Amino acid sequence: MKNKLINSAFLVLAIGAMIITPSCKKVLDFESNSSSTEATVFESTTYTNSALIGVYNKLIGDNGYGSRLSTLFGLTAEDFKTSGSYASSDRRGISMYGASSDNTDLINPFAQLYQGIERANICIKYIPASKLYTSGSAADQALMKRYYGEALALRAQFYFELIRNWGDVPQRFVPAAFAETLFPTNADRDQTYEQIIADLKTAADLVPWRSAAGDYGSFRFTKGAIKGLRARIALFRGGYSLRTTTRQMERRADYLTYYKIALDECKEIMDNRAQHSLNPVYENVFKTLHGIRVDDAHELMLEVAAYGSNASTDSKLGYYNGIRFAAASTYGTGGGGMNAIPTYFYEFDATKDCRRDVTIGVFEITGTSKKLINTLNNFTDAKFRKSWTAFDGKSSSQNFAVNWPILRFADILLMYAEADNEINNGPSATAKSALQEVQKRAYAGFENDIPVTPTDKAGFFNAIVKERLLEFGGEAIRKFDLIRWNLIDSKFAETRAKLRQLINGEGVYANVPLYVYAKESNYNLTPSVVEVASLDLFGGVPSTVLFAPGLGSTTAPTGYTVKNWRKALTEENMLTSTATGFAFYFEANKKELLPYPKTALNENPNMLQNAGY
């Protein structure tokens, strides 16, 4: 029975790695074998690599980081939300914290993450038992150890995604064929965290740095990415989470132990700048994800490779989300599935922070292939753009081979600064420098104008909180940051207050106009700051017009069209509507976790539903 299960698993492993596009060919290539027993697979480095590719393939696709894990599960925070109106059983239910257990967007990602764990467990069991691993040539042993380390890291990533969305998830660290039960109950997340944090320490010793990993690039785990993932998971283990027994947001008394792990791992990465550093151009990080490789600094430490033009191995990034392209344009349909929270636009420095125009889709592309400013309630995310790919209106594809960023070096700098501040009761010089390095890249050309760096613990922490909002918008990070800091409830209240001020034109929003007046203008595909600055608005450039009261009239000057700005926002559509109100169904100490899918509970009678669902 065990051999049948194992052989079936390996037949499945091969399927996911069969269609490879040239851009990922060297990294994800494999050779198929006709006899897929464990003895055959793991006594060949080639077949072992194929098995491992089968594990990587569970990161991508519609139910992985190709769509749902990347563009649905990380919403809503103060940056972005899902577009459209609430329904408990679809993606908008997730975004508004009102998902039901029969939500159709929950079960397949949940199942795919466990499929990835099962595939990783098979590799983790059999690779160390291989003769190549124990007594092969030095080269074969090194390669098999690398594969073993990658499998450990992949399993850690799958479990991490499960825990941060569902909490005390069932765990199994052996293949199903060797498990005591096929229906494990919910496991204490701290125990799962302990295991994967230990696994990542082992993996980091087995996997080489990027420069020694050949063609891996950032498509597969290297030492830096493993260390960075270990730091991230350690901060979550040391952070707050909604506890099953108390039904309260709590963090454990030993949290500083895990902040120290994060500090040490980030420091080692920072000490190896030849491996990873900041890309000097913020926008180029995201262009690189689209296939235009302009990241010689290797800021992208791990990205999920998308390929194959299908729902299983490609992504819908840029089609579902990103800048909106009209179907009649030369680019064809794209974008629009995520909307910016209107206040997010005004969190950035008005004239100096280049990240705003990269992150927020202020404009859309019309049917005439020109750009036109959106209304204030209709901004999109903008780090993913169909126009940065080779696809245009001649293609009917919804898959643009755009990769998803799992980990960037900017996160290493900010995690280090956060951990250092917490451990030392205030920031060291190195922590302040790490924060400033991220800010100076954002303020390119205005480096001397970055915000003043606080020197006290609370002030510096608040600066980190703000900086991570600006740096990682639309990357499915902010929501989970707020949860681990136990700030999600208070930040939601703060955002609602800001939205109300913006609606009423009060406080810092007193000069925000009710209307703007716009014309279509050429879409030049220039750098984002230049592109936004060349929008055709009555009264001047956006950095002036969008921060001044303007005419306040519903009648546009000759040749211009009225676009609602503040006027687009109302108490109902922004706050009180059960269909569109900001995070309307969020409840503290309940909705920090998702409901387990009803199907999963039906199939595993030992699983317990999260409280409140």
Alpha-carbon distance of 377 to 255, in angstroms, equals: 40
pLDDT score for 39: 73
DSSP 596: P
* Residue 375: inside a domain: yes
Contacts of 407 (CB under 8 A, 6+ apart): 225, 228, 229, 232, 300, 301, 302
* pTM of this structure: 0.94
Alpha-carbon distance of 447 to 189, in angstroms, equals: 42
Tally the residues of the chain.
613
Alpha-carbon distance of 553 to 555, in angstroms, equals: 5
pLDDT score for 293: 96
Which residue ranges in the chain fall short of pLDDT 70?
1-36
607-613, long-range: CB < 8 A, 24+ apart: 607/170, 607/183, 607/185, 607/186, 608/185, 608/186, 608/244, 609/101, 610/166, 610/167, 610/244, 611/244, 611/247, 612/587, 613/100, 613/101
* Residue 552: inside a domain: yes
Q: How far is CA 73 from CA 24, 94, 468, in A?
A: 26, 7, 18
Helix, strand or coil for residue 538?
Answer: coil
Domain of 386 in residue numbering reads as: 338-400+513-564
Alpha-carbon distance of 242 to 250, in angstroms, equals: 6
Helices 189-206 and 223-237: crossing angle, nearest 10°? 160
* Residue 362: inside a domain: yes
Q: How far is CA 101 from CA 84, 108, 284, in A?
A: 20, 13, 39
- Strand pairing category for 521-522 and 370-373: antiparallel
Alpha-carbon distance of 218 to 213, in angstroms, equals: 10
SS3 content of the chain, % helix, strand, coil (to 5): 45, 10, 45
Alpha-carbon distance of 10 to 162, in angstroms, equals: 24
Nearest to 55 by CA among 106, 143, 9, 117: 117
Report the number of distinct structural domains present in the chain.
1
Backbone angles phi and psi of 525, in degrees to 5: 55, 35
* Residue 547: inside a domain: yes
What is the secondary structure of 162-223 as a DSSP string?
A: HHHHHSS-B---S-GGG-S-SS--B--HHHHHHHHHHHHHHHHHHSPPGGGSGGGTTTS--H
Alpha-carbon distance of 488 to 379, in angstroms, equals: 23
pLDDT for 307-359, tens place per residue?
999 999 999 999 999 999 999 999 999 999 999 999 999 999 999 999 999 99
pLDDT for 46-95, tens place per residue?
999 999 999 999 999 999 999 999 999 999 999 999 999 999 999 999 99
* Residue 551: inside a domain: yes
* Residue 290: inside a domain: no
* Residue 525: inside a domain: yes
* Residue 433: inside a domain: no
